[in-house]
Structure formats: structure tokens, C-alpha cells
Amino acid sequence: MPATTDGQGSFLNRISIRRNQVVAMENHDQELEDLELFQKHVADRFSYIYSTSSAVASTTASNGTDPSSAASDSPSAALESFTPPLLSISWFRNLLDTYLCCEAEFKAVLVMGRDPTQFTKTPLDKLIPDLLDRSVKALDICNAVTHGIELVRHWQKLAEIAVTALQQNPIGEGQVRRAKKALTALLSSMVLDDKENLNTSNHGKSTERTWSFGRRGGGGSVNSNKDRSTGNFRSLSSSVAKQWSAAKQIQAMSSNLAAPRGGESTGLAMPVYIMSTVLVFVMWALVAAIPCQERTGLLTHFVVPKQSGWAQPMIGLQEKIGEEWKKKEKKGNSGLLEELQKMEKVSQSLVDFADSFQFPLEEEKSAEVAMQVEELAEICRKMEEGLMPLQQQVREVFHRIVRSRAEVLDLLDQVGKLSTPVPY
């Protein structure tokens, strides 16, 4: 009988182990499915942004027209109405929506129902602190971009002054002088050095940029909670340092961004890497388009991995933005936002007109100026409609990053409590 009992116990142990193995295999299969689905959704979302941007670009190149002003009877008019031009305000709103969708799905894959002890094992014990640090730097960039949008809104107001003056009929010397003064101030501000410009905006008053975290407080240890106070993040309000560089911030975010290899490519390391790449790309694009302090070398500070299928549309977008940067040779300053590029071009043309203005204005010249003024007015309308929602989206991205970071830190706190010896 004892032998029989021992045999039965051994058999039951084997059954229990087998059942645990089956459950583990099923969980592993589900995790693999979730990871594949996440990669597919990232690829699909960025493929849509890339394909629509390409459609607008090809249409514009073929007929030499602005997609937003295409005739309603054009075969591509319906498509164009849903495909904002690359680097326009509407395009960035789509990009930020894409980021928020990817981030929500990433958090579901990483956090929901997750055993927090996984974060203390290789490779997550290194990747999670890097992710937390990267998120801190992204928050600084969100603040810088929000500040830059305020500067763009100031330029919009200057352009509106010129529009109001030049829409008078007939146009007199007083209206021309007023328009020229506003447009000259606008153009001068656009070509200022980034540091000088962003510290003297808002009608010449010194402004401050609020940093949301202490410097280098990004999560050096997986058990660290020094960045939090009663569940919220501390804020440090200080003037932006003169040596702060948006380009170097991007470089710091991407410097330790390495694709998982071997077995790590099928685990949680992959979604962490994908989401980190998405985050850096979105911040990089915002810095390229919106006035931000010091962007020298921006094109060389972030390279999207070419070996991944999900990254191909992102690479295409990066190449397009890089071409625009080189073509405009902005080296920072006003940025690549499409509305800003058009505003600068039309404003310079109207200043040239003001320099050679003679009263009374010839009918042909009057019609030409009226078209340019209407174009500038349309740009101002797009800015009036889009800049505030864009700024709100940047803030939403900011707060989403804060909340997700807090959730990860909560999980790490659980790990710390589990690993703390219980006193008897």
C-alpha cells in the first residue's frame, strides 16, 4: 500500500506540472498573438499616414496646385479632402492621434494583467528604466513644442494685422505702412536665432518653460519612486537653460534605443522598443516643424531601424521630412510647418510690394495683391482653426505619458513590496 500511495502522489504531481505547462503555453501563445497584433496595428496606422501624404504630394506635383484648394469636381478632390499635406497642422493632428492609439494599445500589452515580477528580469530590468527616462525627455519636448506653438500664434496675429490693413479698398499709404510694419516684425522674428526668439516672444516679454521633472530623474532604478509625490509628479518651474537643445534631447532619447535580438525579439522587449521608436519619431517630427530651441544636426540625431517591417512607413516619412529640411535649409528657426512656410513666402512678397508701393495702385497690381492677401488670410484661418486643437493634443500626449509612467511605477512598487522581507 505505501508503494501504491507513493506512486499515486507521483502521478498527481506529474499531472499538476503538465497542466501548469499547458496553461503557460496557452498564455505564451496569447502573448505572441498580442505582440504580433500590436506590430500590425503600428504598421497599419503609419502606412495610412505615409500613403495619404504621398497621395497629396504626387497630386500637388502633377498639377502644381495646393491640395486644400482643389476643385470639387476633380477626381482626386474627395481623397484630398481627407489627406492633409505633409507637415501641415492637420497632418500633425493625425500623427498625434496615431501616437495616442498606439500608446493605449502598448499600455494594454505591457501593463494590463501583467505579473510585475517580469519587470525585474532580463531584459525588462534594463528596458523599463530606459523607457521611464525616455518619457521624461519627451515631456520636456512637449513643453518646448507647446511654447513654440504660442510663438506661431503670435506670428498669426501679426499676419492678421497685415491682412486687415491690405483688405481696405482702396489701399492707401497708411494701410501699406501698417501692413509692412507687421510683416517685417513677423519675418524678423522668423529668422531670429532660436534661443533669442523663444526667449523674447510674447511681445518681447521673457517667458518661462516649465520642466515637469527634475533633471535626469527618469527612473535609474526599477524600484525608484523619487519622481513621485503622493501619486503625482513634482514640477520644477525654471527658465529654459541657454544650453538646452531640442536636437540633443532627441539624440539622448534615441542613444540607447537598440532593437531586441534573438529570443528577446519575441517577448515584451519588442513592444517596448517599438513604442520607444514611435515616441522618438513623433517628438522628432514635432521639433522639426514647430519652433524649438536649437535644432542643429536634427537630421543626424535619430535613425529609424530599417530591418523591421513595421518601421518601413516611418522610414518613408522620415525621408520626406528630411528632404523638406534640406530643401528649405531652415537649420531651425521657423520650422517646417507647412502653414509657416507659406506664410513666410507670402509675407515676403507683400513686403516687397510695400517697398515699391505707389498711390494710386494699378488695377493689375491691385488684383495680384488681393490674391496674395486672400492667401495669407486663408493661412491665418487654418491657424486659427488648428493651432489651439493641436496645442491641446500636445498637452493630451503630455498627460497620457505622465499617467502611463505612473502606472508602470506602481507596478514596480508592487515588485518592491513583494521582495521586501516580512518581519516576524
Q: Mind listing the pLDDT tens digit for each residue in 11-62?
A: 455 544 454 444 445 456 677 788 899 999 999 999 999 988 765 555 555 5
Higher pLDDT, 74 or 257: 257
Q: Which helix (H) or strand (E) holds 387?
A: helix 363-419
Q: Are 123 and 420 spatial neighbours (Cβ–Cβ below 8 Å)?
A: no
pLDDT tier at 225, thresholds 50, 70, 90: very low
Higher pLDDT, 179 or 198: 179
Q: Are 222 and 415 spatial neighbours (Cβ–Cβ below 8 Å)?
A: yes
The predicted structure's pLDDT at residue 92: 97
Higher pLDDT, 215 or 412: 412
The predicted structure's pLDDT at residue 234: 33
The predicted structure's pLDDT at residue 105: 95
Give the count of alpha carbons within 13 A of 326, CB side only: 8
Nearest CA-CA partner of 40 in 369, 335, 313: 313
Q: Are 199 and 152 spatial neighbours (Cβ–Cβ below 8 Å)?
A: no
Overall average pLDDT of the 62-79 stretch:
46
pLDDT tier at 90, thresholds 50, 70, 90: very high
Q: Are 300 and 247 spatial neighbours (Cβ–Cβ below 8 Å)?
A: no
The predicted structure's pLDDT at residue 219: 41
Q: Which helix (H) or strand (E) holds 161?
A: helix 124-166
Percent above pLDDT 70 for the chain: 72
Q: 221 pLDDT exceeds 60?
A: no
Q: 418 pLDDT exceeds 80?
A: no
pLDDT tier at 134, thresholds 50, 70, 90: very high
What are the residues whose beta carbons fall under 8 Å from the beta carbon of 304, sequence distance 6 or more? 277, 281, 311, 314, 315, 318
pLDDT tier at 402, thresholds 50, 70, 90: very high
Q: 72 pLDDT exceeds 50?
A: no
What is the Cα–Cα distance from 210 to 212, expressed in whole angstroms? 6
The predicted structure's pLDDT at residue 169: 84
Q: 277 pLDDT exceeds 90?
A: yes
The predicted structure's pLDDT at residue 82: 56
Name the maximum alpha-carbon separation found in the chain. 119
The predicted structure's pLDDT at residue 212: 44
Q: 312 pLDDT exceeds 70?
A: yes
Overall average pLDDT of the 57-82 stretch:
48
Overall average pLDDT of the 78-102 stretch:
85
Overall average pLDDT of the 140-153 stretch:
96
What is the Cα–Cα distance from 105 to 176, expressed in whole angstroms? 54
Percent above pLDDT 90 for the chain: 49
